[in-house]
């Protein structure tokens, strides 16, 4: 009998989307759904009590989560289903991180993170990894073992193909493979690299003995150098059909940056550096594909960088064929990006364009081998301003802490991006500390950059390789660099109050970067949400506010005697006057999101006793505070047709 083929997705970063089908099991979704289930959170709560890990404040949050489980689950689902709303994203991160932190206090084998998934602690070598695979007491092992034993998806006479994304998922790949082979006799296990992080060179996995012990074959570790193939993946973003994929299956047309391992998946040196016949054919194929699939409203080209003339040809083709669509791409700073060309790109529907800025310091740019010419800060600034004027979100990637980079040189880049963040409507950036990657030029030739690699030759790590920088000059430490990158990200939302980021947990800033929450919103919305957030609060409870239907964030009743409530998402207290405390509790208990705010208020006003005019005025003031603190909120709508009309 011929074997059937089934696909498995390993545990990874946090998600609320279940990608499972009859032939594909999304274990990532299943694991997170299990971790935050009411039953499992009760188990974590119970274990915290047994191990004396609970403070009074922690117990309050646990009870809050369990008592409001249904409402919190819906808020989290909404937050991922609608365009980015920073305060609710903060709320979700706080609630979920609280559970994760308690789990990390109990589990000494694995580390849990919304941002990085589930990773083994302190594993470096092949032998250590084998030891973890045989530890049957870990939560991950118990979950996977129970899943593989009890889920009807798993059968004998099957070729299993495991898909993963990040390098820390290696242990899950191997644990799943080992468990499958211990349960079934007529199977094979392969690993598919098609979803793997493009920044990392995974070729060394083939040389890890334990990998070859449990894995029978591999797919898509190398990408054939081809073009003209339409290989888009369809998805939904804010309920709108979107596709993403490469224009060319070839190396970046520059592919010489010293820090980069992104081209390791391409063994051919083929590139497309100009608008040649091959490029024209590829663009024409995509335009025809979009014409024949009018339901698609957005597309993202995932190529590392596409040459400017090719982008202009895409824009001209979309306009010529009257294809109304939003699109996203990455390119390099170029003198070809004039104001006229920026207007062309915007007219065609381009909403976000990524640039590898990395640094604006001339010495560092040359050391990185970032480009064969120096483009001045003034020229870069003009491109950013021109794009902003026409409504295109420019997105810059930064690297801080490159070997030999001094504090003064790093500050030059920091000052540049902060200045443009405050001056431009749509400018965004991803600030990253330097990571030494296997497969990069700097890893292959460390002496050229005056560094010594100290990572063990047997290490399974592929990125963030440890090294010593021997260059002179005052430099930021690794810890200082990470702190700076997080503060830069915090500025996007908190502006000058960025040092208050500790209120949300430092991991939040990594989370919104890695989950692409900010970028997805700004790439696909007509208005900049971060400008809206800094508008003045509502001054009075107007008729317009009263007729709206709001959803309600559950509040934490911190101290009944003082009538003190706590808004977890804004980290603010709400004090309720004694005169209206009972009415407020009634309002919270009976609140319905399906009727207007006025109707909800009218339902409880009938129970006011005494001076109704004074008490209603106090109550209205309290309700206004709930609106301004986003305790009462509305989901931000995504009206793509309105955007496409512009």
**226 neighbors 626 (Cβ within 8 angstroms):** no
Whether the CB-CB separation of 290 and 255 falls below 8 Å is answered with no
Q: Output the CA torsion sign for 143, 145, 148, 150.
A: negative
Give just the sign of the alpha carbon dihedral 530, 534, 536, 541: positive
Residue 110's beta-bridge partner residues? 120
pLDDT digits (tens, 9 = 90+) for 493-502: 777 777 776 6
Beta-sheet strand order (sheet of 298-301): 233-237, 240-245, 298-301, 326-331, 350-358, 393-400, 428-433
Average pLDDT in the 549-559 region? 88
Q: Which of 132-136, 396-400, 627-631 has the highest mean pLDDT?
A: 396-400
The token duo for 467 is: 């090294």
Cα separation, 482 vs 433, whole angstroms: 6
- In the predicted model, what is the mean pLDDT of the chain? 88
**Across residues 222-236, what is the average pLDDT?**
72
Q: Which helix (H) or strand (E) holds 394?
A: strand 393-400
List beta partners, residue 328: 300, 352
Q: How far is CA 643 from CA 121, 345, 637, 646, in A?
A: 46, 15, 12, 6
Residue 243 backbone dihedrals phi, psi, to 5 degrees: -130, 155
Overall average pLDDT of the 132-136 stretch? 82
CB under 8 A, 24+ apart: contacts of 360-363: 360/412, 360/413, 360/416, 361/405, 361/409, 361/410, 361/412, 361/413, 363/409
Average confidence (pLDDT) over 354-380: 92
- Look at 255 and 509; give whichever has higher pLDDT: 255
- Distance separating alpha carbons of residues 223 and 202, to the nearest angstrom: 12
| Contact indicator for 5, 159 with CB cutoff of 8 Å | yes
d(CA 468, CA 301): 37
Condensed to tens digits (0 to 9), the pLDDT of residues 569-581 reads 878 889 999 889 9
User: Which of 619, 491, 632 has its CA nearest to residue 549?
Assistant: 632
- CB-based contact 205:166 (threshold 8 Å): no
Strand-pair partners of 163: 9, 192
Cα–Cα distance list, 237 to 83, 393, 523, 525, 639 (Å): 9, 17, 11, 12, 12
pLDDT score of 492: 80
* Lowest mean pLDDT, pick from 222-236, 311-325, 423-437: 222-236
The answer to whether 305 touches 253, Cβ cutoff 8 Å, is yes
Average pLDDT for residues 187-210, to the nearest whole number? 92
Distance CA 401, CA 410 (A): 7
Residue 335 confidence (pLDDT) above 90: yes
Q: Count how many Cα atoms sit within 13 Å of the Cα of residue 267 in the half-sphere of its side chain.
A: 7
Task: Output the pTM of the full model.
Answer: 0.89
Residue 524 has pLDDT above 60, yes or no: no
Q: How confident is the model at residue 241 (pLDDT cuts 50, 70, 90)?
A: confident
Contact between 10 and 171 (Cβ < 8 Å): no
Assigned token pair, 516: 């692409």
* Residue 528 confidence (pLDDT): 47
Tell me the two tokens of residue 294. 């009018």
**Mean pLDDT of all residues in 202-208:** 89
pLDDT score, position 360 = 96
Which residue has 């898509």 as its token pair? 220
- pLDDT, tens digit (0-9, with 9 covering 90-100), for 38-49: 999 999 999 999
Query: What's the pLDDT tens digit per position in 432-476?
Result: 999 999 989 999 999 999 999 998 777 788 988 999 999 999 999
345's CB contacts (< 8 A; 6+ apart) are 311, 312, 315, 353, 387, 390, 392
Joined tokens for residue 492: 């996007």
Q: Are strands 551-552 and 467-469 parallel, antiparallel or unpaired?
A: unpaired
pLDDT at 535: 47
Q: pLDDT at residue 175 above 90?
A: yes
Instruction: Tell me how far apart the alpha carbons of residues 626 and 584 are, in angstroms, rounded to a whole number.
Output: 12
Instruction: Please provide the DSSP assignment of 251-265 as one string.
Output: --SS---TT--GGGG
Q: Which residue has the tokens 């493009």?
A: 198
Q: Determine which of 164-173, 217-226, 257-266, 522-531 has the lowest per-residue pLDDT on average.
A: 522-531
> Can you give the pLDDT at residue 126?
77
**Among 638, 261, 631, 247, residue whose Cα is nearest residue 464:** 261
For residues 226 and 246, the answer to whether their CB atoms sit within 8 Å is: no
Q: What distance lies between CA 119 and its chain's CA centroid?
A: 17
Report how far residue 408's alpha carbon sits from residue 423's, in angstroms, rounded to the nearest whole number. Answer: 23
- CA dist 253 and 311 (Å) reads 13
Are the C-beta atoms of 28 and 12 separated by less than 8 Å? Answer: yes
Give me the phi and psi of 474, to 5 degrees please: -80, 120
Whether residue 353 has pLDDT greater than 50: yes
Q: Which residues of 98-135 are buried (b: 16+ CB within 10 A; e: fewer)?
A: bbbebbeeebebbbbbbbbbbbbeebeebeebbebbee
Residue 412 has pLDDT above 90, yes or no: yes
């Amino acid at each position: 009998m011929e074997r059937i083929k089934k696909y498995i997705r390993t545990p990874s970063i946090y998600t609320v989307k279940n990608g499972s089908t009859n032939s594909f099991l999304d274990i990532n979704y299943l694991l997170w759904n299990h971790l935050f289930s009411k039953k499992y959170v009760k188990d974590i709560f119970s274990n915290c009590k047994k191990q004396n890990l609970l403070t009074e404040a922690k117990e309050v949050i646990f009870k809050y989560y369990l008592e409001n489980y249904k409402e919190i689950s819906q808020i989290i689902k909404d937050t991922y289903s609608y365009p980015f709303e920073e305060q609710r994203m903060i709320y979700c991160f706080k609630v979920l991180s609280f559970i994760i932190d308690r789990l990390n206090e109990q589990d000494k084998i694995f580390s849990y993170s919304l941002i990085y998934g589930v990773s083994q602690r302190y594993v470096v070598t092949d032998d250590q990894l084998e030891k973890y695979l045989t530890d049957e007491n870990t939560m991950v092992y118990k979950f996977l073992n129970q899943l593989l034993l009890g889920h009807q998806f798993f059968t004998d006479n099957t070729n299993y193909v495991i898909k993963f994304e990040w390098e820390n998922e290696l242990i899950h790949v191997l644990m799943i493979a080992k468990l499958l082979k211990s349960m079934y006799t007529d199977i094979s296990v392969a690993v598919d690299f098609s979803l793997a992080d493009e920044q990392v060179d995974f070729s060394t996995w083939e040389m890890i003995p334990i990998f070859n012990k449990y894995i029978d074959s591999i797919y898509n570790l190398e990408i054939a150098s081809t073009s003209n193939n339409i290989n888009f993946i369809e998805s939904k973003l804010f309920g709108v059909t979107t596709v993403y994929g490469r224009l060319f299956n070839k190396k970046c047309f520059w592919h010489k940056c010293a820090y980069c391992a992104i081209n390791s998946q391409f063994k051919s040196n083929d590139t497309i550096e100009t608008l040649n016949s091959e490029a024209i054919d590829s663009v024409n194929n995509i335009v025809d594909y979009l014409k024949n699939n009018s339901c698609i409203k957005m597309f993202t080209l995932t190529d590392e960088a596409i040459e400017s003339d090719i982008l202009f040809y895409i824009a001209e083709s979309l306009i010529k064929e009257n294809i109304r669509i939003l699109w996203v791409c990455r390119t390099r700073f170029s003198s070809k990006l004039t104001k006229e060309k920026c207007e062309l790109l915007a007219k065609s529907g381009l909403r976000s364009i990524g640039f590898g800025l990395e640094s604006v310091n001339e010495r560092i740019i040359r050391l990185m081998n970032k480009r064969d010419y120096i483009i001045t800060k003034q020229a870069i600034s003009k491109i950013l301003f021109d794009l902003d004027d026409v409504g295109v979100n420019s997105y810059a990637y930064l690297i801080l802490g490159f070997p030999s980079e001094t504090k003064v040189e790093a500050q030059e880049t920091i000052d540049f991006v902060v200045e443009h963040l405050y001056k431009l409507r749509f400018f965004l950036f991803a600030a990253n500390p330097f990571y030494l990657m296997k497969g990069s030029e700097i890893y292959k030739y460390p002496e050229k950059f005056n560094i010594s690699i100290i990572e063990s030759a047997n290490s399974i790590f592929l990125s963030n390789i440890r090294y010593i920088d021997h260059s002179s000059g005052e430099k930021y430490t690794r810890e200082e660099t990470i702190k700076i990158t997080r503060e830069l990200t915090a500025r996007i939302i908190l502006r000058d109050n960025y040092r208050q980021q500790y209120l949300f947990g430092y991991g939040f800033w990594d989370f919104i970067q890695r989950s692409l929450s900010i970028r997805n919103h700004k790439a696909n919305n007509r208005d900049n949400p971060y400008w809206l957030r800094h508008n003045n609060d509502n001054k009075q409870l107007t008729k317009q506010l009263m007729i709206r239907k709001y959803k309600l964030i559950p509040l934490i009743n911190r101290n009944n005697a003082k009538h003190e409530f706590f808004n977890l998402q804004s980290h603010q207290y709400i004090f309720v006057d004694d005169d209206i405390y009972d009415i407020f509790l009634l309002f919270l208990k009976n609140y319905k999101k399906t009727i207007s705010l006025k109707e909800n208020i009218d339902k409880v006003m009938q129970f006011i006793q005494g001076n109704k005019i004074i008490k209603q005025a106090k109550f209205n003031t309290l309700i206004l505070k709930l609106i301004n603190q986003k305790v009462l909120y509305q989901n931000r709508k995504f009206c793509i047709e309105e955007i496409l009309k512009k």
